[in-house]
Chains A and B, each alone.
Chain A
Amino acid sequence: MFEFVLKRVLQAIPVLWIVITVAFLFVHAAPGGPFSQERAVPPEVLKALNERYKLDQPLLIQYSDYLRNLARGDLGPSFKYPGRTVSEIILAGMPVTFELGFYALLVALAVGIGAGILAATRPNTMRDYLPMSLAMVGICLPTYVLGPLLVLFFGIRLEWLPVSGWGYLPGDKILPSMTLGLAYAAYVARLCRGGMLEILSQDFIRTARAKGLPETTVIYKHALRGGLQPVVSFLGPALAGLLGGSFVIETLFQIPGLGRYYVQAAFNRDYTLVLGTTIFFSTLILVFNLLADIATVWLNPRLRQEDGARA
């Protein structure tokens, strides 16, 4: 097990390096620089700024400088927010983004597993179709539609919940977590249904039923652990997706997380911030994929023998 983890961690380093290189080339290839704006910037000023941030150097030098600083853990200053370093911006947004992702995941799991179990116990009946259809609302309505709808209903019409913010007013975390979580509930529901169906058709479940165990015991004690396996291997990519996809939610609900920077930095040509957030999110994706793989192996002892190759 340790060897497997170590191998994966070592593999991640060249992967990250390539990601950084690709992202570096991309941002620098995009037209426009970090300093262009509507009121024309005098050429003298542009020159001074480019010199200050070493943007007048050949790209290769900029690249090696960046890597050297990165090796020391220095992500550089932000271009758009000259008073702040990229690390500072990431550290400020990270807890918020994590928290949002975590709550959203809870929503996705609660709704998705609930619907999945209901559906799997009576497949191809109304008890299958109805929960599955409800769980699918989240993917049929894009978050930028679902979010405002929920706000208008619970925030404005009923006045139950705040319409924006994150930890400023009691209850303001509910609507954003729901909006983001529901987008994933359908996937969880489908995976859970599939996994449960497969387990429920296996012999040991038949034996358990034949022994006259109550259906709830069969499902929750015997079937669930194996049935959730596809859901668990989905958790890694899902959590990474939740964190990276929080951009829309953060904008709609005024949440000071990283997703907003992540997209805005690309639009602002804030080179260092784009690279910094890219590194951050890429690392997250790698880590969560690894964790999901470890969890899968742990849940399924049979796989421990194999070489751990995915897919």
Chain B
Amino acid sequence: MPEQPAGVAAMPGREAMHSPSLWRDAGLRLARNRLAMIGLIVLAFMVVLALLTPWIAPYSYEAQDLELGPVAPAPAHWLGTDIFGRDLLTRILYGSRVSLAVGFLATAVALTIGVLWGACAGYIGGGADAVMMRIVDILYALPFTIFIILLMVVFGQNILLLFFAIGAVEWLTMARIVRGQVLSVRHQEYIEAAVTMGLSRWQIIRRHVIPNVLGPVIVYTTLTIPNVILLESFLSFLGLGVQPPASSWGVLIAYGVETMEEYPWLLFFPAATLSLALFSLNFLGDGLRDALDPRASKD
């Protein structure tokens, strides 16, 4: 699994983004970016479908019809059925609930730990900063495939642990980004000005630090979600993903690969769905970065 490029950490956010008009500008720039908007729409559509699944799914996701077995896409089953005779469309719909949930929740875990950790390290500074960032270094050096496998092995498999394990790995880069931002903001003149003006610490954080950190964090978040979804599919490939009869995109793809020549639709549709989601998330992330960082999109 590719690690998120450390390069995002170097993303410029030097200009203070604390005025509302800058946010509005960013929104306008995003709206003008066609790919990012398509990504946003596709994503919203997927989330809505996932939420509505129990009401719109044509079949049960677990009921089997072994005598029927795997059939190619047909009017009765738009995307065909799997080897147990279960409707693939239904299973993809239910799978998107799991995958999107893993994606969003694990990212939320990573976001929470990462932002708190990075902000504390950056704001407190000094010895505490050094210790906290050494810890991040250590975790970076821990081969994390093994880390997750061991975690799953030691504590057994359940979906909550999956969120936690993935989130626990993905927060590191977030912490670095946030710390970098906080450090760069801390020494800006306007902060010092604010201090002399007698603003309280909390007011400074709220007015100046948070808005500055928010941009990079939003961008990195949209790039973490696809990573997490891929990681879940990798764990499914190892047999450590969600347990039957539940489904997820990763599980469906891992099963589909086994029979890719005999029943290609079992691979094609789940893989296409995953790709669509990942494309959308990535384009949205790129668009956000361009929008929030005006200099980079100038040409």
Answer yes or no: A and B touching, Cβ < 8 Å. yes
| B134 at interface by CB-CB < 8 Å | yes
* Residues from chain A with Cβ under 8 Å of B147 in the complex: 26
Q: How far is the CA of A23 from the CA of B149 in the complex (A)?
A: 12
Q: How far is the CA of A124 from the CA of B225 in the complex (A)?
A: 24
| B24 at interface by CB-CB < 8 Å | no
Tally of A interface residues using CB under 8 Å = 68
| B244 at interface by CB-CB < 8 Å | no
A window 7-58: CB within 8 A of B: 11, 14-16, 18-19, 22-23, 26-27, 29-31
B window 121-180: CB within 8 A of A: 133-134, 137-138, 140-143, 145-147, 149-150, 153-154, 176-177, 179-180
**Residue pair B141, A286 in contact (C-beta under 8 Å):** yes
Least CB distance from B57 to A in Å reads: 25
Q: Is the interface of A mostly helix, strand, loop or mixed?
A: helix
Q: How far is the CA of A238 from the CA of B1 in the complex (A)?
A: 10
**Smallest Cβ-Cβ distance to A147: which chain B residue:** B257
* Residues from chain B with Cβ under 8 Å of A144 in the complex: 234, 237, 254, 257
Q: B47-55, B73-81, B197-205, B291-299: which lies at the A interface?
A: B291-299
* Residues from chain A with Cβ under 8 Å of B64 in the complex: none
* Residues from chain A with Cβ under 8 Å of B35 in the complex: 129
**Residue pair B154, A29 in contact (C-beta under 8 Å):** yes
Least CB distance from A73 to B in Å reads: 20
Please count the residue pairs between chain A and chain B whose beta carbons lie under 8 angstroms apart in the complex.
Answer: 157
A window 268-304: CB within 8 A of B: 274, 277-278, 281-282, 285-286, 289, 292
**Residue pair B296, A237 in contact (C-beta under 8 Å):** no
* Residues from chain A with Cβ under 8 Å of B11 in the complex: 194
**Residue pair A247, B145 in contact (C-beta under 8 Å):** yes
* Residues from chain B with Cβ under 8 Å of A15 in the complex: 134, 137-138, 141
**Residue pair A198, B141 in contact (C-beta under 8 Å):** no
- Given A142-B233, A233-B7, A274-B146: A124 and B275 interface contact (C-beta under 8 Å): no
**Residue pair A136, B230 in contact (C-beta under 8 Å):** no
Least CB distance from B131 to A in Å reads: 11
* Residues from chain A with Cβ under 8 Å of B23 in the complex: none
| A230 at interface by CB-CB < 8 Å | yes
| A162 at interface by CB-CB < 8 Å | no
| A263 at interface by CB-CB < 8 Å | yes
Tally of B interface residues using CB under 8 Å = 58
| B107 at interface by CB-CB < 8 Å | no
Least CB distance from A230 to B in Å reads: 4
**Residue pair A245, B145 in contact (C-beta under 8 Å):** yes
Q: How far is the CA of A109 from the CA of B276 in the complex (A)?
A: 24
- A244-B145, A245-B2, A247-B145 are known contacts; what are 5 more A-B pairs with Cβ within 8 Å? A123-B297, A144-B237, A145-B257, A230-B5, A311-B179
Could you list which residues of chain A lie within 8 angstroms of chain B, going by C-beta atoms?
Answer: 11, 14-16, 18-19, 22-23, 26-27, 29-31, 123-124, 129, 133, 136-137, 139-142, 144-145, 148-149, 152, 183-184, 186-187, 190-191, 194-195, 197-198, 200-201, 230-231, 233-234, 236-238, 240-241, 244-245, 247-248, 262-263, 266-267, 274, 277-278, 281-282, 285-286, 289, 292, 310-311
